Amino acid sequence: MSRQLAGKVALVTGGSRGIGAAIVNRLAHDGAAVAFTYVASAEKAKSLASGIQSRGAKALAIEADSAEPDAVRKAIAQTVSELGRLDILVNNAGILIRGSVDEFDLADFDRMLAVNVRAVFVAVQAALPHLEPGSRIITTGSVVADRSGFPGASVYSMTKGAVASMTRGLSRDLGPRGITVNAIQPGPTETDMIDDETTRAMVRPLIALGRTGKDIEVASLVAYLAGPESSFVTGAALTIDGGYLA
């Protein structure tokens, strides 16, 4: 078992399922104590935490809606209170609501901005008092920041473009403190967002490798960015898409 993150504490927002759960498992595997937030998947969150604890690692499940700034702040505070510190912040929580511009509901627009963009800023702001030099901030973006690909993705694409831009700006703000800030941009991946075979069959021909990605593959990129070997990587939006953008 790799122990490159031994002694570190991580918080993963939106960590109870899909890519988030894979990230939680990988960071725990690499030696970190991991807190993660969830909203509706209480049973999955409990099962994930129990599984990690059964392997002798520390895991803490926190109910927190990323659309609520106070909930995000409280999750940061609880992580530090119960696990003692914070070294790695992974902003993974995100939602996808599709719709064309002429029918898109403004409430959905506001919620997607709140979860996908504002929550990232709030989490970083709340985490900063606890982050020492060498800490890591990693945000899950998407290849739709560079290529929407299909109708109905304009608002989602906007939020992920904002994540990439924010990452670059934050890297300038926090570089002097020795804190790296990066985003990952997954392409089509086998998660709840692409949960039917019809959609997967439609996107496979657009991917150079001819298949959709796996959550553990995305988690491996997060693990690299969280680890010591990525100390000179900051301000980057790293694509992991099987050649979807090639």
Active site residues: 156
Taking the C-alpha atoms of residue 21 and residue 47, their distance in angstroms, rounded to an integer, is 11
| 8 A C-beta contact, residue 99 and residue 73 | no
Q: Residue 137: beta bridge partners?
A: 89, 181
Six-digit token pair at 16? 């109870």
Q: Which residue do the tokens 């690499």 mark?
A: 30
DSSP code of residue 114: I
Residues near 88 by Cβ (< 8 Å), separated by ≥ 6?
A: 5, 8, 9, 10, 11, 27, 32, 135, 136, 137, 138, 226
Exposed / middle / buried, residue 36 (Cβ in 10 Å: 0-12, 13-18, 19+): buried
Instruction: Work out the angle at residue 32's Cα, subtended by the Cα atoms of residues 28 and 36, and round it to the nearest 5 degrees.
Output: 65
DSSP letters along 200-241, please?
Answer: HHHHGGGSTTSS-B-HHHHHHHHHHHHSGGGTT--S-EEEES
